Amino acid sequence: MTAARETIGRRSRGSRRRALLAGSAVGAAALMLAACGGGSSSSGGATSGGGPGTTSGGGGGAGGGTIATGNNAASSGKGTVNITWWNMWSGAPATLSKQMAAQYNSSQSKIHVTVLNVPSADGDAKLLSAIAAGDPPDLFTEWNPTIGEDAQTGAIQSFKQFETGKYANIQKWMYPVVADGGLYKGNLYAIPMSMNSEALYYNKSIMKAAGISSPPKTLAQLDADQAKEWKISGSHLEQIGFYPLPTSAGGGDLQTFGPYFGVKGLGYEHGKYDLTSQPGALAEVKWMQSFNKYPYSSISALNAAYGNVAGGAEDPFSMGKQGFTLNGIWEAATNIPASNPAMKNNFGIEPFPAAKGGVAKSGSYINGNYNIIPKGAKHGQQAFQFIAWLAGFDNPGIVNYYPKGGWMPTSPQLAATSTFKAWEKRVPYVKTFVGLMLDKTSQAVPLTPAESEYFTANGVALQNLATKKTSPMAALSYVDKQANAELAKSK
């Protein structure tokens, strides 16, 4: 008992000593924290190579006591402007983005780019916080359907002021459908750096096993062929034929298939969403409805099983469990080699058959990763120059990144370069994808402040269609109603 009391005494004495230590540690810590500026002082510009071992802001504070702003540190070196680029890539494309920035930095000395890869889940929240604080990055690669409302609310800058001198004709330099994806109320607000068009992928061995000799050339043929490829035993889904409806693990949308049914403006025309009045839209939804005979939750489960939800992008097709799919070139160029090399020689690509009988092919839905300049960016001019460089303007070398990134060019001039032609020759399906960029029926989703809502409403309506909870017309009018309500809010 006395031993215990002694121990207590010793402990509390020890605790006083510890308290003192803690107190001084606190004081020291506070001092240290206060001294080490914002941790982002411009010690010669952080390496954009993304390698390990970059010293943390702790000791290297060139601006010791100054209050360092988050991003746009003053220039280091004579006349070099430092700009920051945030994008939401991770993994392989993140590395590519860093390589591009490094290449740009070493090719000239007027502008120095620092890349930050931001987690995609909250990337927009981070960007908006920075804009609110008046200290955003100089450019941001946006792939969420928010550009329209960003432009409407003034969160991003119009490029009009930068389209001068050699950049005066940059819009004409792009594919028309590419420029469309960045125009809001007649002004350019975003220029893409990587594009995507979509084509039909087919699994050769599954096709063979189902007794199909060649890939379908019409939509009706696709419907018939894919029906033979489903393998369902009870509630166990073994193999999917084709499934255009979105599952809760992601999937198709109205805009994805809109071009094949001749849907104009992907639903947006004359200042409002009016899918219900387009016969093409109705035909499209009726066609999608015909697939609700397949088990929705099993398909969701299969898609989710391949990590479709938690950020990964393996999908049933790349894992050899699906006969047909509509996808961009990245599936072939990056997904399959990375996740299932065994599939490499087991797939083929064809233009997706159009709905109208007799028409062999049609343009596709076009989307991409668009670079924007946030409001309050300190070096808009330089950011624009870099954005143009990333898009390939005056920079044919950008094509070297396309095979690794699985990207399509932004301009026909890039498609005409020898590098690109060499890629086309090496990999036959490239031609299919790039041809779609030129097709007059290819469409990008028009930028409106209601784009986000349109996408969300899309997902909900089509999911309901898949679970037999709604009818085609009701689905379309739901999307119209939601999107137009959102439009009204932002006027």
Partner 1 sequence: MPADVARQTAGRAARRQRNRRLRLGLLFISPWIVGFLVFTLYPFLATLYYSFTNYSIARSPTWVGLANYQGLMNDHLFWVSVWNTAYYTVLEVPFSTVVAIAFAMLLNMKVRGMAFYRTALYLPTVVPLVAGSVLWLWLFNPSFGIVNDALGLLHIPGPGWMFSAVWAKPTFVFMGVWAVGAPMVIYLAALQGVPQEMYEVADLEGAGPWQRTRHVTLPMISPAILFNVVLALVAAAQYFTQAFVMTQGGPDDATMFYSLYLYEQAFSYLHLGYASAMAWILFVIVVVITLLLFRFSNRWVYYANE
Partner 2 sequence: MTVQPIPEIASTPIRSAAVPLQLPGRKKGRWFQRLWRQGLKHLVLLVMALLFIFPLFWMILTSLKPLPQAVTFPPTWVPHPVLWSNYPKAMASQPFGQYFYHTLVYCVTTVIGVLIASSLVAYGFSRIRWQGRDRVFFVMVATLLLPYIVTLIPLFVLYHHLGWVGSYKPLIVPTFLGSSVYSTFLLRQFFMTIPESLSEAARMDGAKELYIYSRIILPLSKPALAVVALFQFIYAWNDFLGPLIYLNKQSLYPLSLGLNEMLGTYSTNWSWLMAASTVATMPMIILFFLTQKTFIQGITLTGVKG
Which chain residues interact with partner 1 by CB under 8 A? Answer: 121-122, 124-125, 128, 131-132, 144, 146, 149-150, 153-156, 235-237, 247-248, 296-298, 300-302, 304-305, 307, 309-312, 375, 452-453, 456, 459-460, 463-464, 467, 469, 486, 489
90 binds, among partner 1, partner 2, none (CB under 5 to 8 A by kind): partner 2
340 binds, among partner 1, partner 2, none (CB under 5 to 8 A by kind): partner 2
Chain centroid offset of residue 283 CA = 28
Least separation, in Å, of the C-beta of 60 and partner 1?
Answer: 28
**Residue 234 in the binding site for partner 2 (CB under 8 A):** no
Q: Which is nearer to partner 2, 314 or 394 (CB)?
A: 314
Q: Which is nearer to partner 2, 84 or 325 (CB)?
A: 84
**Residue 88 in the binding site for partner 2 (CB under 8 A):** yes
Q: Which is nearer to partner 1, 149 or 229 (CB)?
A: 149
Nearest to 483 by CA among 466, 463, 467, 460: 460
Site for partner 2 in 392-411 (CB under 8 A): 406
Least separation, in Å, of the C-beta of 89 and partner 2?
Answer: 5
Q: Which residues have a Cβ under 8 Å from the Cβ of 215 and sit 6 or more positions away?
A: 200, 202, 207, 348, 350
**Residue 67 in the binding site for partner 2 (CB under 8 A):** yes
**Residue 12 in the binding site for partner 2 (CB under 8 A):** yes
**Residue 484 in the binding site for partner 2 (CB under 8 A):** no
**Residue 8 in the binding site for partner 2 (CB under 8 A):** yes
**Residue 300 in the binding site for partner 2 (CB under 8 A):** no
Site track 305-334 with partner 2 (rule: CB under 8 A), x = hit? xxx--xxxxx----x----------x---x
**Residue 77 in the binding site for partner 2 (CB under 8 A):** no
70 binds, among partner 1, partner 2, none (CB under 5 to 8 A by kind): partner 2
Query: Applying CB under 8 A, which of residues 76, 221, 339, 346 lies at the interface with partner 2?
Result: 339
117 binds, among partner 1, partner 2, none (CB under 5 to 8 A by kind): partner 2
**Residue 15 in the binding site for partner 2 (CB under 8 A):** yes
Nearest to 266 by CA among 447, 145, 441, 443: 443
Query: Applying CB under 8 A, which of residues 93, 262, 403, 446 lies at the interface with partner 2?
Result: 93
Least separation, in Å, of the C-beta of 369 and partner 2?
Answer: 10
Cross-strand bridge partners of residue 192? 370
Query: Applying CB under 8 A, which of residues 103, 124, 135, 218 lies at the interface with partner 2?
Result: 135
12 binds, among partner 2, partner 1, none (CB under 5 to 8 A by kind): partner 2
Contact 461, 470 (CB under 8 A): yes
- The two beta strands, 183-184 and 187-188, are antiparallel
Least separation, in Å, of the C-beta of 101 and partner 1?
Answer: 26
Q: Which two tokens stand for residue 457?
A: 């409403």
Least separation, in Å, of the C-beta of 341 and partner 2?
Answer: 8
**Residue 233 in the binding site for partner 2 (CB under 8 A):** no
> In whole angstroms, what is the distance from residue 383 CA to residue 393 CA?
14
Nearest to 240 by CA among 123, 183, 319, 310: 319
**Residue 40 in the binding site for partner 2 (CB under 8 A):** yes
**Residue 11 in the binding site for partner 2 (CB under 8 A):** yes
Cross-strand bridge partners of residue 196? 367
Query: Applying CB under 8 A, which of residues 23, 44, 64, 154 lies at the interface with partner 2?
Result: 23
- The two beta strands, 81-87 and 111-117, are parallel
109 binds, among partner 2, partner 1, none (CB under 5 to 8 A by kind): none
227: number of Cβ within 10 Å: 16
Least separation, in Å, of the C-beta of 460 and partner 2?
Answer: 22
Size of the site for partner 2 (CB under 8 A): 74
33 binds, among partner 2, partner 1, none (CB under 5 to 8 A by kind): partner 2
> In whole angstroms, what is the distance from residue 399 CA to residue 408 CA?
9
Q: Which residues have a Cβ under 8 Å from the Cβ of 248 and sit 6 or more positions away?
A: 300, 304, 309, 463
Least separation, in Å, of the C-beta of 230 and partner 1?
Answer: 14
Query: Applying CB under 8 A, which of residues 24, 39, 64, 290 lies at the interface with partner 2?
Result: 39
467 binds, among partner 2, partner 1, none (CB under 5 to 8 A by kind): partner 1
**Residue 24 in the binding site for partner 2 (CB under 8 A):** no
